[in-house]
Structure 1
Amino acid sequence: MAQELEIKLTLHPQQIPLGLAWLLEQAEASKGACKRLVNTYYDTPDNQLNVERIALRLREAGGRTIQTLKTQGEFVNGAHNRNEWEWEVPGPNLQLGLLANTPLADNVNLARLAPVFETNFERQVIMLADDNAVIEVAVDTGEIIANGQSRELCEVEFELKSGNPDNLLIWAQKLAQHCPVFLNLVSKAEQGYFLADAPMAHARTVENAGESAGEVAASLNALLQRLSQSWLKQQSVNMRSLNLSALAHLAAGCAPSQAWSELVEQLQGGTTVSDLLQQPLLGQIQLAMLQHIAGQ
Structure 2
Amino acid sequence: MPQELEIKLTLDPSSAEDAYRWLSSLPETSAGPTKSLINTYFDTPAAELNRRRAALRIRQAGDRYIQTLKTQGDFVDGAHRRQEWEWPVPGPSLDFDLLGETPLASDIDLTALKPIFETNFERRIVMLDDGAAVIECAVDIGEITSGSDALPLCEVEFELKSGDEKRLLHWVGKLAEQVPFFINLISKAEQGYYLAGIHRPEPLPPESDAVARLFHGTSTLWLTGEKTSEFDEAVVELEGASALVGSSDSAKVFEQFRADPVPERIPSLGPLQVALLRS
Relative to the length of structure 2, the TM-score reads 0.94
Q: Report the counterpart of residue 116 of structure 1 in structure 2.
A: 116
Answering whether residue 272 of structure 2 is matched by residue 289 of structure 1, we say: no
Q: Report the counterpart of residue 209 of structure 1 in structure 2.
A: none
- Percent identical pairs in the alignment equals 47
CA contact (8 A) 1:50 1:201 kept: no
CA contact (8 A) 1:51 1:201 kept: no
Show structure 2 runs of 5+ residues with no match: none
CA contact (8 A) 1:30 1:128 kept: yes
SS at match of 1:104: helix
Q: Report the counterpart of residue 76 of structure 1 in structure 2.
A: 76
In structure 1, give the amino acid aligned to 2:209: A
Number of aligned positions between the proteins:
278
CA contact (8 A) 1:5 1:160 kept: yes
Deviates further, 4-13 or 193-202: 193-202
CA contact (8 A) 1:121 1:143 kept: yes
In structure 1, give the amino acid aligned to 2:233: S
SS at match of 1:266: helix
**Deviation string for 1:155-205 (max 9, x for gaps)?**
000000100000000011100110001100000000000000003354456
CA contact (8 A) 1:33 1:124 kept: yes
State the alpha-carbon separation in 2 of the partners of residues 18 and 205 from structure 1.
36
CA gap 1:204/1:158 in 2 versus in 1, 3 angstroms: farther
Runs ≥4 in structure 1, deviation > 6 angstroms? none
CA contact (8 A) 1:255 1:288 kept: no
State the alpha-carbon separation in 1 of the partners of residues 272 and 245 from structure 2.
8
Q: Report the counterpart of residue 209 of structure 2 in structure 1.
A: 218
Q: How do 1:58-77 residues align onto structure 2 when only pairs under 5 Å count? A: 58-77=58-77
State the alpha-carbon separation in 2 of the partners of residues 8 and 204 from structure 1.
18
CA contact (8 A) 1:44 1:112 kept: yes
Q: How do 1:1-296 residues align onto structure 2 when only pairs under 5 Å count? A: 1-200=1-200, 202-203=202-203, 218-235=209-226, 240-242=232-234, 244=236, 246-256=237-247, 258-276=248-266, 279=267, 281-292=268-279
Show structure 1 runs of 5+ residues with no match: 207-214
- 1:237 shift after superposition: 6.6
Instruction: Please report the RMSD computed on the Cα atoms of aligned residues, expressed in angstroms.
Output: 1.8
SS at match of 1:142: strand
In structure 1, give the amino acid aligned to 2:63: G
In structure 2, give the amino acid aligned to 1:229: T
CA contact (8 A) 2:11 2:264 kept: no
- 1:45 shift after superposition: 0.3
CA gap 1:123/1:27 in 2 versus in 1, 3 angstroms: same
SS at match of 2:93: coil
CA gap 1:67/1:7 in 2 versus in 1, 3 angstroms: same
**Deviation string for 1:4-35 (max 9, x for gaps)?**
00000001122111111110011101000000
CA gap 1:156/1:243 in 2 versus in 1, 3 angstroms: closer
- 1:106 shift after superposition: 0.7
Deviates further, 234-243 or 160-169: 234-243
Relative to the length of structure 1, the TM-score reads 0.89
